[in-house]
Amino acid sequence: MIDQYDYIIIGAGAAGATLAHELSTRTNKSILVLESGGKDNDPWIHIPKGFAFLVGGKKHSFYYDTKPLRQSGQPDRWQRGRVDGGSTSVNGMQYDRAGKTYWNTVADIADDQWSWDKVLETYKSFEDYDLGASPTRGEGGPLGIMTKRDPEPLNDAVVEAAGAFGLPWTDDLNEHDGERISFIPNTVRKGLRQNTAVAFLDPALKRPHVTRLNHAHAVRIQFDGKRAVAVEALVKNHRRLFYATEEIILSAGPIETPMLLERSGIGQGEVLHKLGVTPVVENPHVGEHATEQRFFNYQWRIKEQMGYNQKLSSKVRQLLTGAKYLLTREGVIGTGGYDLGGFVKSNPGEVTPDLFIMFSPFALDYEANGYAIHADPGLSGTGYLVSPTTESSIHATSMDPFAPPIIDVRYLEEQWEQEAQRRGLEIVREIAAKHPLADLITEEEAPGPEVRTTEEVLAHSWLSGNAFHAVATARMGSGDDSVLDPSLRVRGVEALRVADASVLPKEPGNTMAPSILVGAHAARIITGKY
């Protein structure tokens, strides 16, 4: 018996699960979703603060070690979800859409179907904001989005200090492109994580023409001439072929997608030669142009017993807070990684903010193994450049689909990036020096007041980690310097598209919401039904 479907989607992550839902509402043709990982039935996935047990954990993720950083001599580790919902099942649930300026820039690179007016309508169609509908947000869609938090005096102090600095409050962080501070929207509904498996894949699977196969890792795409006709996959360690009569869509993410293209004969000639694969189309941009963000972390001790440390810093406190959550689905356990987010300009000449800063009313224990809450109260956060331009590359090393890639990672090599990174740390310090926050702080614990110069801030950044936001490894565009055309079709072949973060030609900031958008928008492009 031949395994044959009309459409095959590779990957059930942010974009793939969304694409399965949106495509299946627009066509009755058969759809197969191949997911390398298992089902999202781990309770820690669905408890929002459970992300602390998933970031750095190996159960539901791929891990990729990069080449050593030029600056530190140490490799980075990049994590991506390997489970229904992909990284939306293990991340901090931050729903940052990027805005008008970003998407109009994408439209300039690709074409008008990616302009803000068009993508905004797609966003609104699947959103269910707790703030309700407005000209800039949706209500009643499948994806729950929480913006509200329980009252917390330490958060109030941050907001007031940020206002004194010049960051105005807005109820919805996604409402406009200007400088602002707000609670970070989270993909949470009624105290439970809204990964794309819950919001999109599960409803899709209730339709008779949608099939999902777990533990199915794509090895390569097979072609008849230039037409993609089948996916070769390892299904529980057995090789199987799945045929597509209409199209194959890669939604495997910005690391796996370019490697899958290369194993299928699409990529740089030198890479294909090393893999021993017959070229189908040589394209020097596959796996290139990756951008990723580098954090700069910060933390202060405070004198008052406020914030979340008194709720989370011991087993007994965690049990009491957890019991409240289980009874009510409310409280700190039912929220994402950070409470407050702010967009700010590194200098007044920027058209839109180029820095993103975050705060949460608790202190981390830096001496503990892994992610742990300190016994004493404090305020912590991290920041990053919204759209860095230093490029990295990702390439396959073997026809073995589980062989590690070569990730030649680069960060902050442009002078403007370095100066903006330094200015970002200065800005959070200036906010911390404003009343009433300054009245609560006793000391800066990280990075420490001695870290001042650009070189010192960069050295601190090498210790602060990366954001898991890589993009552009199979970027779309209107010219030959892209892998995809503006309709997400792989250049030089037929019946093959890409729909995930790898298509984004520029770093949007946080990548979850834009990846979901790409999946939903791809369904509209494929079917012509908007």
Instruction: Tell whether 4 and 133 lie within a shared domain.
Output: yes
Average pLDDT over residues 302-316: 84
pLDDT of residue 237: 86
Q: Is pLDDT at 304 greater than 90 in this prediction?
A: no
Residue 189 is assigned to a structural domain of this protein = no
pLDDT band, residue 373 (cuts 50/70/90):
confident
Residue 121 within a domain: yes
Are 369 and 400 contained in the same domain?
no
On whether residue 102 sits in a domain, the answer given is yes
Same domain, 89 and 218: yes
Of 22-31, 127-136, 356-365, 370-379, give the lowest mean pLDDT range. 370-379
Query: Which position has the higher pLDDT, 316 or 123?
Result: 123
- End residue of a domain, out of 465, 493, 510: 465
**Sorting pLDDT into bands at 50, 70 and 90, what band is 384?**
very high
Residue 366, pLDDT > 90, answer no
Residue 317 pLDDT: 76
Show which of 443, 465, 487 is a domain's final residue: 465
Max intra-chain CA distance, the chain: 72
Verify that 87 and 208 share a domain, yes or no. Answer: yes
Task: State yes or no: pLDDT of 315 exceeds 80.
Answer: no
Q: Is the pLDDT of residue 267 over 80?
A: yes
Instruction: State which of 440, 465, 490 marks the end of a domain.
Output: 465
Q: What local confidence, expressed as pLDDT, does residue 440 receive?
A: 97
What is the predicted pLDDT for the residue at 75? 94
Is there a single domain that holds both residue 226 and residue 245? Answer: yes
Mean pLDDT (the chain) is 95
Of 27, 47, 5, 67, give the one whose Cα is nearest residue 405: 67
| Domain identity same for 232 and 116 | yes
Q: 14: domain CATH number?
A: 3.50.50.60
> Are the CB atoms for 32 and 242 separated by under 8 Å?
yes
From start to end of 121-236, where are the E strands?
Answer: 127-129, 143-145, 180-183, 188-189, 192-193, 210-213, 216-224, 227-235
Q: What is the CA radius of gyration of the chain?
A: 22
Instruction: Kindly state whether residue 122 falls inside one of the protein's structural domains.
Output: yes
What is the pLDDT at residue 57? 78
Check whether residue 452 and residue 478 sit in a common domain: no
Domain identity same for 17 and 58: yes
**Residues 393-445 pLDDT 10s:** 999 999 999 999 999 999 999 999 999 999 999 999 999 999 999 999 999 99
In this prediction, residues 379-401 reach a mean pLDDT of 98
DSSP secondary structure letter of residue 466: B
The C-alpha atoms of residue 210 and residue 207 are separated, in whole angstroms, by 6
pLDDT in tens, 429-486: 999 999 999 999 999 999 999 999 999 999 999 999 999 999 999 999 999 999 999 9
Q: In terms of domains, do 127 and 31 share one?
A: yes
Over residues 186-230, the pLDDT tens digits come to: 999 999 999 999 999 999 999 999 999 999 999 999 999 999 999
According to the model, what pLDDT value does residue 53 have?
85
Tokens 């442009």 locate to 414
Provide the percentage of residues in the chain whose pLDDT is more than 90.
Answer: 88
Per DSSP bridges, beta strands 266-267 and 281-282 are: parallel
- The CATH number of whichever domain residue 305 belongs to comes to 3.30.410.40
Do 221 and 98 belong to one domain? yes
Find the domain containing 528 and state its range. Answer: 1-143+194-292+393-404+469-530
Give the pLDDT confidence score for residue 345 in this predicted structure.
98
Domain total for the chain?
Answer: 2
State the pLDDT confidence band at 322, using cuts at 50, 70 and 90: confident
pLDDT at 370 over 70: no
Q: Give me the pLDDT at residue 70, please.
A: 87
The whole-model pTM stands at 0.97
261-265: average pLDDT: 98
Look at residues 15, 56, 52 and name the one whose alpha carbon lies nearest to residue 35.
15
Q: What is the dihedral of CA 168, 170, 176, 180, to 10 degrees?
A: 30
Mark whether 309 and 206 lie in a shared domain.
Answer: no
Residues 6+ apart with CB under 8 A from 138: 123, 124, 125, 126, 127, 128, 129
pLDDT grade, residue 367 (50/70/90)? confident
Are 442 and 301 in the same domain?
yes
122-176 pLDDT, tens digit each: 999 999 999 999 999 999 999 999 999 999 999 999 999 999 999 999 999 999 9
Q: Is residue 525 part of a domain?
A: yes
